[in-house]
Amino acid sequence: MATTDPSSAAARRQLANMALFLGPATVLLFMFFIAPVVVDVFVAFTDMGRSLEVTEFTTANFERMLTNDSRIGPTMAVTFTYVLLTLGIFNVTFGLLLALATTAVPERSGAFFRAIWLLPRMSPSVVYALLWAWMIGPTDRGLINQVAVGWLGLEPIDVLSNQPMLLIVLANGFIGASMGMIIFTSAIRAIPEHLFHAARVDGAGPLAVTWHITLPALRWPLSFITVYQTLSLLVSFEYIWLITNGGPFYDTMVFALYVYKRAFENGQYAYGAALSLILVAIGIAASLFMWRLLDMQRLLQTPRIEVQ
């Protein structure tokens, strides 16, 4: 038998286990998640352009960012408007409404409607964007116009040209509302049924029950969704890119899309990297903030009423 010290054999086994189990994850995360952050910082200080070559190190990108880019302000403004509207109207409010409505009707119907509202989220983004394109077609081919012109006798509506912000808020809102709907629904389902029974016997009607029992139980999910979705919306641009491409002109150019185009359409990779740092910084700050929030939630998780 071996004469090796048992504790070092155990230590070796632990190391081997750690390498086997955690190794792949750690390697992948380092290579494709953490390394990019480092690369981003690095490239931001270079002059990399279309050629993808670095010839010098410079802070010119940051100077340009701070003094010489007239697009940054407007895109930030567009971003904030878009985030506020989408979050406020759809992700939070409409998500809540859907959760409340689908839990107040019999379970099978509720599940059916929730399934419908998850459809946009589960569809490929390209197809979803195509569907929107067909809906908003400015001639009477677009589905909306078929209803508007054919049934209601209105003039054809051109949402893309006239109300692009409305368009992106709606398009992203349908997607965002579904996440809120799911989280709020499971929070509502977690409320002990006896609380609802007690309230009903105490004399509360459905609105009073919602106000006194349901909503107070949603305080935590509401703040979680708000923070999480704010971050999500701040950095997302996929649907906007596909549906309006930031236009017309720069009307719906959110900051994240602007950064993308600077790098991949104009070939200004270094500048794009520098701009990205703003997003990365926001991302890190928000993640840390949410981490604190989540930890607090773990503490608040334990129910303290003796519920059977």
Partner 1 sequence: MARIELQQVAKSWREVVAVEPTDLVIEDGEFVAILGPSGCGKSTMLFMLAGIYAPTAGEIRFDGHVVNAVEARDRNVGIVFQSYALYPHMTVARNIGFPLKFKGVKADEAARRVIEVAQLVHVEELLDRLPAEMSGGQQQRVALARALVKEPQLLLLDEPLSNLDATLRLTMRAEIRRLQRRLGVTTILVTHDQIEATTMADRVVCMSKGRIEQIGTADALYRRPDKLFVASFIGAPPINLLDGRAADGRLRVGELTLGASGISGEVVLGIRPEHLGLTAPGRGLAGRILTVEPLGRETLYEVATPLGSLRVLEAGSERRWQEGDAAGGTVADEALLIFDKSSERRLESASLALAEAA
Partner 2 sequence: MSATLPSLQRARPASGRGQADWDALARAGSRRRAIGQGLLMAFLVTVSVPILLPYFWMFTISVSARTGGVESAVLWRSIGILVPAVLALGFLNLLTEPGIRRLYAAAGIVVVAGTTLAWAIGPDLHLQNWAFLRDPNFVENLSGRGAGTVEAQFPSVWTAFGNSLMLAGVQTFLVLSVATLAGYYLSRFDFQGRASFLQALLVLHAFPAMTLIIPIFLLMHWTGLLDTITGVILVIATLELPFAVFIMKGFFDAVPWDIEMQALVDGASRRRAFLEVVFPQVKVGLLAVGVFSFIRGWEEYVFVRTLLFDKQNWTMSLYIFWVSDDIMGVDYGVVAAVGVFYVAPSILLYVFCQKYLVQMSLGGIKG
Site for partner 1, rule CB under 8 A: 192, 194-195, 197-205, 208, 212-213, 216, 303-308
Binding partner at 101 among partner 1, partner 2, none, C-beta below 5 to 8 Å by kind: partner 2
3-state secondary structure 164-190: HHHHHHHHHHHHHHHHHHHHHHHHHHC
Q: Tell me the C-alpha distance between 206 and 231, whole Å.
A: 34
CB of 207 to partner 1, least distance (A): 11
Nearer to partner 1 by Cβ, of 52 and 201: the residue is 201
User: What whole-number distance in Å separates Cα of residue 306 and Cα of residue 283?
Assistant: 40
Task: Between 198 and 285, name the residue whose CB sits nearer to partner 2.
Answer: 285
Q: How many residues bind partner 2 (CB under 8 A)?
A: 96
Please tell me whether residue 121 binds partner 2 under the rule CB under 8 A: yes
Phi/psi class of residue 17: alpha, beta or left (left: φ > 0; alpha: ψ in -120 to 50)? alpha
Residue 203 interacts with which of partner 1, partner 2, none, CB < 5 to 8 Å by class: partner 1
Integer Cα distance of 35 and 54 in angstroms: 18
Compute the least distance from the CB of residue 104 to partner 1, in Å. 15
β-pair partners for 46:
57
Q: What are phi and psi of 51, to 5 degrees?
A: -70, -10
Report the sign of the C-alpha dihedral through residues 109, 113, 118, 119, in that order: positive
Tokens (6 digits) for 146: 């078929």
The region of 155-163, 244-252, 265-273, 299-307 touching partner 2 under the rule CB under 8 A is 265-273
- Work out which of 55, 58, 59, 109 binds partner 2, going by CB under 8 A: 109
Interface pattern 50-79 for partner 2 (x via CB under 8 A): --x---------------------------
Out of 218, 228, 243, 253, point to the residue binding partner 2 (CB under 8 A).
228
Cβ-in-10-Å burial (0-12, 13-18, 19+) of 24 comes to exposed
- Shortest Cβ 53–partner 2 spacing (Å): 11
Using CB under 8 A, which of 9, 10, 18, 190 touches partner 2? 18
Binding of partner 2 by 28 (CB under 8 A): yes
Query: Residue 17 binds what, of partner 2, partner 1, none (CB under 5 to 8 Å, by partner type)?
Result: partner 2
In whole angstroms, give the CA distance from residue 79 to residue 238: 13
217 binds partner 2 per the rule CB under 8 A: no
Q: CA-based angle 204:180:86, to the nearest 5?
A: 115
Binder of partner 2 out of 61, 79, 214, 236 (CB under 8 A): 236
